[in-house]
A = this chain, B = another copy of it.
Amino acid sequence: MPKRNLFYAQSGGVTAVINATACGVIETARKHRNRIGKIFAGHQGIVGALTEDIIDTGHESPSAIAALRHTPGGAFGSSRYKLRGLHENEAEYERLIRVFEAHDIGYFVYNGGNDSMDTAWKVSQIGEKMGYPITCVGVPKTVDNDLVGTDNCPGFGSVAKYVATSTREAAIDVLSMKQTKVFIMEVMGRHAGWIAASGGLAGIRKHEPPHAILFPEIPLDEVALIARVKECVKRYDNCVIVASEGVRWPSGQFVGRAGVGRTDAFGHTQLGGVAPVLANIIGHRTGFKYHYAVVDYLQRSARHIASKTDVDQAYAVGEKAVNLALAGEHAVMATIVRKSDKPYRWTVGTIELRKVANKEKKLPRRFVTRDGFHITAACRRYLSPLIQGEDPPPFRNGLPDYVTLKNVRVRRRLKKRFDVAE
């Protein structure tokens, strides 16, 4: 078999461990010099392929690549750009083929969430429908944990560990303070409540915080929430709430109003997400002193408190993707397969991309308590293994020592430029 080049790219929101996957891809590909020529990375995901903005990872030392394992963010840049259907924008696919041909790319490894698996699937069709020989493999990545076909998604375990740890720590603080009665922490997960659920791991016994979790899957009952807050303050002296950014009212409207571009009747932009809105409502209804936190990017970039299980799995799916590509497995995604809960045992597997693309795995109702405010024992059994183990990065001068790659670009071979409309 002739040597061909590999193209790897990162897509969608980045995570604390997507670079661990990149490390797994590159280290594994480097072991197969006889089959894989150059290992390229797209700058900013698929956009790098379309615009021929391609990084040659061959310029990076083995130690720099190894350091990706403990470095958060997307080392090659990421993008939320989504390919349209083959018949809607054939020019894009033709462009991809031109770029792939120009750089002799025979392996396409795409690392992302459900939108990105759709992109990977569409690229895989190039081979089948447009006659360009390419082996296309998806690698799962999303803090939202909402990909189907895999037991869990690399990236999620570390957010879960961060959210559970932060909830536990902030709750100890709240409990210490005589005056503060309500604390709300807003976390990610616009459509699926997996991240919010992970906050539930902070406490074990009934009285331990968090005292309420607000999921996007459960319409928010304001009366029940206020009652719960009052009851918790009475019983435990405070009420700690973990709220998903995707919580909605029974009408379907998001509780957190978007920060950009939304204005009220008077032309003032509406501020804030869920936490300030909820804090405001609870403060008004109860008179309790409150605090709130919005962790935003911190939760998904906190490599310093990553889950070792998550790091190991992120690396493993990267390794698996290359092995799948070399085995000629086309249009598939590497997966995590759970073999047992306790002791937790897992392995890597495979699923067809078309079964994953654009699908969303929400938190099942059986993972939420009947009252809608907490996680069940079944949920705990599922989540707990994913946050096990610590894998701190090296520290230097008191701070995590993260790598910055050289990201040397490959010389452009195509005369024609291609603009990506966004």
Cα separation A78 to B172 with both chains bound (whole Å)? 12
The answer to whether A201 touches B399, judged by C-beta atoms less than 8 angstroms apart, is yes
When the two chains form their complex, are residues A170 and B301 in contact, meaning their CB atoms are under 8 A apart?
Answer: yes
Separation of A195 and B392 alpha carbons in the complex (Å):
24
Chain B residues near A75: list those with CB within 8 A: 176
- A399 engages B13 (CB within 8 Å): no
A136 part of interface (Cβ distance < 8 Å) = no
Of residues 73 to 95 in A, which have CB atoms within 8 Å of B's CB atoms? 73-75, 77-81
- Do the beta carbons of B303 and A169 come within 8 Å of each other? yes
Contacts of A304 in B (CB 8 A): 165, 169, 305
Judge whether A104 is part of the interface by a CB distance below 8 angstroms.
no
A263 to B, closest residue via Cβ? B284
Q: What's the least CB distance linking A288 to chain B, in Å? A: 10
Choose one: B74, B266, B296, B303; the contact of A291 (CB below 8 Å): B296
Interface residues as binary, A235-272 with B (CB distance below 8 Å gives 1, 0 otherwise)? 00000000000000000000000011000001001011
A20 interface contact, C-beta 8 A: no
Contact B166 A13 (CB under 8 A): no
Give A10 Cβ to nearest chain B Cβ, in Å. 7
A398 touches B307 (CB 8 A): yes
Measured in the bound complex, the distance between the Cα atoms of B301 and A173 in whole Å is: 6
A364 contacts partner chain B, Cβ-Cβ < 8 Å? no
Write the chain B residue with the least CB distance to A266.
Answer: B266
- Give 3 closest A-B pairs by Cβ, nearest first: A73-B172, A74-B176, A387-B398
Chain B residues, CB < 8 A from A266 = 266
Whether A332 is near chain B, meaning CB under 8 Å from some CB there, is: no
Convert A5-28 into 0s and 1s, putting 1 for each residue whose CB lies closer than 8 angstroms to a CB of B: 000001001101000000000000
A283: CB under 8 A from chain B? yes
Asked whether, in the complex, the Cβ of B283 is within 8 Å of the Cβ of A291, the reply is: no
The answer on a CB contact under 8 Å between B72 and A400 is: no
- Bound CA–CA A45/B297 (angstroms): 36
B-chain residues with CB within 8 Å of residue A72 when the two chains form the complex:
169, 172-173
Least distance between A236 CB and chain B CB atoms (Å): 13
Which A residues between 167 and 218 are near B, CB-CB below 8 angstroms? 168-170, 172-179, 183, 185, 201-202
Give Cα A422 to B296, complex, Å.
35
Contact of A177 among B78, B289, B390, B397 (CB under 8 A): B78
Residue A132 at the chain B interface, CB threshold 8 Å: no
A130: Cβ under 8 A from any B Cβ: no
A170 to B304, CA, bound (A): 12
**Pairwise interchain contact A301-B14, C-beta atoms closer than 8 A:** no
A276 near B259 with CB under 8 A, answer yes
* Contacting residues of chain A (134-179) with chain B, CB-CB under 8 angstroms: 161, 164-166, 168-170, 172-179
Q: Are A173 and B14 also in contact (CB < 8 A) when A259-B280, A294-B293 are?
A: yes
Q: Taking each of A71, A73, A173, which has the highest tally of chain B beta carbons within 10 Å of its own beta carbon?
A: A173
What residue of chain B has the Cβ atom nearest to residue A398's Cβ?
A: B387
Give complex CA distance A260, B286 in Å.
12
0 or 1 for each of A337-366: is its CB under 8 Å from B? (1 = yes): 000000000000000000000000000000
| B271→A276 contact, CB < 8 A | yes
Decide yes or no whether A116 CB sits under 8 A from chain B: no
CB distance B395 to A392 under 8 Å? no
B400→A173 contact, CB < 8 A? no
Kindly provide the distance from the CB of A17 to the nearest chain B CB, expressed in whole angstroms.
Answer: 12
Contact A80 B172 (CB under 8 A): no
Task: Establish whether residues B305 and A296, one from each chain, have CB atoms under 8 Å apart when the complex forms.
Answer: no
Question: A185 — nearest CB in chain B belongs to which residue?
Answer: B298
Q: How far is the CB of A370 from chain B (nearest CB, A)?
A: 25
Residue A388 at the chain B interface, CB threshold 8 Å: yes
